[in-house]
Structures are given as C-alpha cells and as structure tokens.
Amino acid sequence: MKKILVADDKLEVVELVAATLEGEGYQIITASDGMEALEKIGKEKPDLVLLDVIMPKMTGLEVLAKAKKDPQTKDTPIIMLTAKGQQLDKDKGIALGATGYIIKPFSPSALSKRIEEILAGVG
C-alpha cells in the first residue's frame, strides 16, 4: 500500500485530501506544520508528499529544499499545494525539484487522478 503524506496547517484541507483518497488504497499520514512534515518525510518514507506552501514553523518551500538535499529523500515525489497560485511560488517549487503543484481550490477527482499518474510514473 502506497504511503502518502499530506502536510497542511488547515485541518479542513488535510481532511479533504484524506476524504478524497479514502477507498483508493493509500495509507494517509498527515503533518500540520513544516517541521513535522520534514520529520515524517525522513522517518515514514512516504511514496508521495502533498505539501502546502504556507505553513507555520517552516514553509513548504523550505521543507521541499531540505528533502531534496537529503539523499535519502531526494527521490520522493513532492507535489506542492498552493493557494497563492503565484508564478513565483510555482517556479521556485519546480526549481527546487517539486514533481508538480496543485492549486487550491482543487477538485478532489483531479487530485486523485494526478496522484495516480505520478505514482504510476507517468507524471
């Protein structure tokens, strides 16, 4: 069973992602700030990470940069969740090695499809 980490300080978002992927055959783990997210990326070795950009303690971009630097986790696909939808954040994310990004608000089915593709190695 593929393990997916959802990192967002908004409980509603975490719950939404969890509800979206429920019954799709994934194990969902969560983190509510950047620090926790980085910790869980290292420990839990998720197959995919959904990472919010704006989070307390450590921003999503910082978490991304650190995860990509760590040889243990550098190959873990990371999808950035951004509500800002700003080109700068997107570019930064891609430059730092994000696999992709999803703009809030997002459609649960679109998210589910995207995750499937990435895990299948298509994305």
Partner 1 sequence: MDERLEKKMLDLEKANKALKQSEQKYRELVDNADCAVIVIEPTGYLSFVNPKFCEMMGYTMEEVKKLHFSKFLHPEDLAMVTENFKKKLSGQQTPKSHKIRALTKPGDTIYVDYDSSVIKRKGRIVGIQAVIGDITETKKAEEEVRESEEKYRMLFEGANDVILYVNKYGKIIDINKRVEDIFGYRRDEVVGKSFVELGVLRSKNIPRIVKLFRELIGGKGVISILELEVKNKNGKMVPIEASTRVIKRNGKIVGTMNILRDISKRKKAEEEVKAKSQFLESLIEQSPLPTFVIDSAGIVVIVNKAFLKVYNVPKKEMVLGKNALTEPENVRQGVVKYIKEALSGKIVETPEIEFISPYENEKTVTKSRLFPIFDTTNRLTNVVVMHEDITERKKMGEKERQYFSDLAFLSKTAMELVEFTSNKDIHSYVGEQIRQLFPQSVVIINSFNKTTDLFRVRALLGVGKLTTRFLKILGRDPVGMTLPINDQARKGLSKGELAKVPGGLYELTLNQIPESVCNVLEKLLGIDDVYAISFIWKGELCGSAAILMRKGTEPKNPKLIETFVRQASVTLQRLQTEDQIKEQNERLKELDRMKSEFLSTAAHELRTPLTSILGFSEILVKKKLDEKKQTRFLETINKEAGDLADIINDLLDVSGIESGKGFKMKKALIELKEVILENVDLFKSQTDKHTFKMNVPPDLSKIEADKDRIGQVMENILSNALKFSPQGGEITVSVEETDDGVKIIVTDKGMGISKKDLPHVFERFYRGDNASSGAIGGTGLGLAIVKYIVESHAGRVLAQSKPGRGSTFSFTLPLGSTEKKREGRKKE
Enumerate binding residues for partner 1 (CB under 8 A).
10, 12-13, 15-16, 19-20, 22-23, 53-57, 59, 83-86, 104-109
CB of 72 vs partner 1, minimal distance in Å = 27
Strand partners, 29: 5
CB of 62 vs partner 1, minimal distance in Å = 11
Pairing of strands 2-7, 48-52: parallel
Instruction: Mention every residue, 6+ apart, whose C-beta is less than 8 A from residue 88.
Output: none
Distance of CA 105 to the CA centre of its chain: 15
CB of 16 vs partner 1, minimal distance in Å = 4
Identify which of residues 55 and 98 has a Cβ nearer to partner 1 in the complex. 55
